[in-house]
């Protein structure tokens, strides 16, 4: 259990550190891509991705820094893409919002909320037909549930018994509008539970709890072939897009954030490790390794040449170079 908790902490810390580096360097204006930050959702994403494992496939949204790093740990690729450098395999054509890394099972992300859910269902169909045993996890925000295609995809996945987990990263806001102002129903999990799927919910910021829940979901899926729906609450620390707090915008009070920040996922997990008898020196060693990895990735990305301007024309059809 200690080893699992250490590994989960390492991933949480890696996600957090990478995003903190963005906050340091973004004002230099060399990363020219809008940033939708993951601060606050680390436990949700790391818990699910770690349970899913290397063989699983992940689809994400425009807010997928955490998912990309949790699934791939490839911070070299991450920063070189944010800086739009030649060394990125996407050559600066994806940016923060359209990250992908097929070799790591990170299948792609979309800026149109919910539009990727039917694509994820299609991928799950392909996996099922190919009998390769792969399970798809599709992340989306609670705002995506307002879109028709969320319901189309959920319905199709339940009807066809597809191996897909729909993971609602529920931060309670569609940009600035709270769920209560958007929904003609009280409880999303209750509505979804009328579909033929397994439903799970949690508001924990403890990555171990989320991991256990996701592992349970995967086990039930393997036993009884049905999709899963997970409603995982978290609190978005920063503004919808950008690297700042936005409590002055008036749509949410600072004390709401402070209550959640009391149980910040990174701090919660660190305190737990200390309680479990992991020494401070060992934690410092894990953190130092992560710090070095992230700093190295940022430096490599900064030094690399910009993607060539001819890339603007490439890749539209197969015949292109």
Partner 1 sequence: MPKMNMVQAINLALKEEMERDPDVVLLGEDVGKNGGVFRITEGLHSLFGAERVMDTPLAESGLVGAAIGMAVYGLKPVAEIQFMGFIYPAVDQIFSHAARIRSRSRGRFTCPLVIRTPYGVGIKSPELHSESSEALFCHMPGIKVVVPSSPFAAKGLLTSAIRDPDPVLFLESTRLYRLVKEEVPEGEYTLPLGKARVVQEGKEITVIAWGSMLHKALQAVDGYDAEVIDPMTLRPFDEETILSSVKKTGRVVIIQEAPKTGGFGAELSATIAEDAMLHLKGPVLRVAGCDAALPLARLEDAYMPSVERMRRAFDGIMKY
If one asks whether residue 305 binds partner 1 (CB under 8 A), the answer comes out as no
CB of 153 to partner 1, least distance (A): 6
- CB of 100 closer than 8 Å to CB of 111: no
Q: Cβ closer to partner 1: 181 or 319? A: 319
Residues forming beta bridges with residue 167, ordered by sequence position: 139, 230
Q: Cβ closer to partner 1: 119 or 209? A: 119
**b/e code 171-197 from CB counts within 10 Å (16+ = b):** bbbbeeeebeeeeeeeebeebbeebeb
If one asks whether residue 130 binds partner 1 (CB under 8 A), the answer comes out as yes
If one asks whether residue 110 binds partner 1 (CB under 8 A), the answer comes out as yes
Candidate list 8, 31, 52, 100; residue touching partner 1; CB under 8 A: 100
* Packed helices 207-223 and 265-275: angle between N→C axes, nearest 10 degrees: 90
* Packed helices 280-303 and 265-275: angle between N→C axes, nearest 10 degrees: 140
If one asks whether residue 315 binds partner 1 (CB under 8 A), the answer comes out as yes
Count, residues near partner 1 per rule CB under 8 A: 41
If one asks whether residue 82 binds partner 1 (CB under 8 A), the answer comes out as no
- How far apart CA 59 and CA 296 sit, in angstroms, is 27
Q: Cβ closer to partner 1: 185 or 317? A: 317
If one asks whether residue 308 binds partner 1 (CB under 8 A), the answer comes out as no
Candidate list 104, 122, 278, 304; residue touching partner 1; CB under 8 A: 122
> What residues between 157 and 216 interact with partner 1 by CB under 8 A?
159
Q: Cβ closer to partner 1: 259 or 314? A: 314
- CB of 22 closer than 8 Å to CB of 82: yes
- CB of 57 closer than 8 Å to CB of 137: yes
DSSP string covering 172-198: SEETTEEGGGT-SSS-HHHHHTTSSSE
Q: Cβ closer to partner 1: 121 or 145? A: 121
If one asks whether residue 117 binds partner 1 (CB under 8 A), the answer comes out as yes
Per-residue mark of binding to partner 1, 132-161 (x: CB under 8 A): ----------------xx--xx-xx--x--
DSSP 8-class letter at 248: G
CB of 59 to partner 1, least distance (A): 9
Q: Which stretch binds partner 1 (CB under 8 A): 93-101, 166-174, 186-194, 249-257?
A: 93-101
Q: Which stretch binds partner 1 (CB under 8 A): 45-53, 116-124, 165-173, 284-292?
A: 116-124
CB of 316 to partner 1, least distance (A): 5
* Sheet with strand 164-170: strands edge to edge: 106-110, 57-61, 136-141, 164-170, 228-233, 198-202
- The maximal CA–CA distance of the chain, rounded, in angstroms, is 58
CB of 314 to partner 1, least distance (A): 8
- CB of 195 closer than 8 Å to CB of 189: no
- Dihedral sign for Cα 198, 221, 200, 38, please: negative
CB of 290 to partner 1, least distance (A): 27
- Applying CB under 8 A, the residues found at the interface with partner 1 are 57, 89-91, 93-94, 98, 100, 102, 107-108, 110-112, 115-127, 129-130, 148-149, 152-153, 155-156, 159, 314-318
């Amino acid at each position: 259990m200690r080893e699992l908790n250490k590994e989960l902490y390492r991933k949480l810390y890696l996600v957090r550190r990478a995003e903190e580096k963005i906050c340091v360097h973004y004002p230099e204006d060399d990363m020219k891509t809008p940033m939708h930050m993951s601060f606050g959702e680390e436990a949700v994403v790391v818990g699910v991705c770690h349970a899913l494992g290397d063989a699983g496939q992940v689809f994400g949204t425009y807010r997928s820094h955490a998912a990309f790093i949790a699934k791939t740990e490839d911070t070299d690729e991450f920063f070189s893409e944010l800086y739009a450098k030649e060394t990125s395999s996407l050559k600066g054509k994806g940016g923060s919002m359209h990250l992908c890394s097929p070799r790591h099972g990170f299948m792609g992300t979309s800026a149109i909320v919910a539009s990727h859910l039917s694509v994820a269902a299609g991928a799950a169909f392909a996996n099922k037909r190919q009998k390769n045993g792969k399970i798809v996890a599709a992340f989306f925000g609670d705002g995506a549930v307002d879109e028709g295609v969320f319901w189309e995809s959920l319905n199709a996945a339940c009807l066809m018994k597809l191996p897909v987990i729909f993971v609602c990263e529920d931060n309670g806001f569609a940009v600035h509008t709270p769920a209560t102002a958007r929904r003609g129903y009280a409880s999303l999990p209750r509505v979804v539970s009328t579909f033929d799927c397994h439903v799970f919910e949690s508001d924990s910021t403890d990555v171990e709890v989320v991991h256990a829940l996701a592992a349970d979901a995967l086990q039930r899926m393997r036993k009884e072939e049905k999709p899963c729906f997970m409603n995982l609450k978290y609190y978005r620390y920063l503004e919808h897009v950008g690297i700042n707090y936005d409590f002055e915008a008036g749509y949410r009070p600072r004390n709401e954030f402070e209550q959640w920040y009391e149980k910040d996922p990174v701090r919660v997990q660190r305190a737990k490790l200390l309680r479990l008898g992991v020494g401070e020196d060992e934690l410092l060693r894990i953190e130092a390794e992560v710090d070095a990895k992230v700093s190295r990735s940022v430096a490599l990305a900064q030094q690399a040449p910009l993607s060539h301007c001819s890339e603007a024309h490439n890749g539209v059809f197969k015949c292109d170079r």
